Structure 1
């Protein structure tokens, strides 16, 4: 389904519906708000830095912002744009945690935790995540694009291998009950196979 520059995949709709159905605590809406604000952080930074987003694609794997090839961002600006999303989440985590401490509602701790988790996850040095893009752009700025790609590819492979190994060990030790980490590793392995392009956020 396409609405202007926004493309919504069937997998996204199915996952969103399933999570909403299984969510008895109202966490999904808070998580979607965190994700939306994260992407808005990227959008604002890209616009301020002179880039242009030509498409926002929502899939079961997350959100992708495709940048215009006609207005590419140089490495320094690419790094700033990549870090803008996690920066928004970190600011929200700190701000909402302080509001919760001041008595504005215990649910704000949940929102703070979701934002902190989203920021930390996206800062992992993996090819298709913000941390990997920022690392690649930083190394390109300091040394070369080739080195940036090689280092990020090595970090991605090491993290995927570690998740798969530890996930398999936990599955074995729990006699098949603890499979969450293994699923995360398989998801990361599948994403690594897609070989995300640098201009996609």
Structure 2
């Protein structure tokens, strides 16, 4: 009886080794071809997250509990692509000067803790990356760098800390590049109600 048990275990082990030895570690993964690109423009848009699905704000008016900001990064990705590449490769667009920090400032007093001019980055969070196909994750939140990029990239930030009262607000977004250079954009006014 004991011999049968050991024989069964031995056969199963042998079968496992044979199956493992017959599998191929070599896979036909396409290799990337890095194509450098540059940031051309940064645009800011106001979004309303009150419904079933977020939508652009109408007349820049948003319920203050449902505000979301879009930071749209436009690059020259695709303009410098090689004319051809084989099936073993794919193109990967890489910013020549990656984005290492995204900061958001309020131009209007938010509450006692955040007066006019204060940094309010902590009042926003990265909207889950299930919203649109060209949505970019903000890797700078965790100390990373945004470097892999497409022609159009959209970062969505949902407001967590609600202003004390409604009214007209403006936000200033500052992108700090790896080189130390900064890019600033001021949003259009948005009315919170």
TM-score category, normalised to shorter length: under 0.3
Greater percentage in helix: 1
Greater percentage in strand: 2
Rg larger in structure? 2
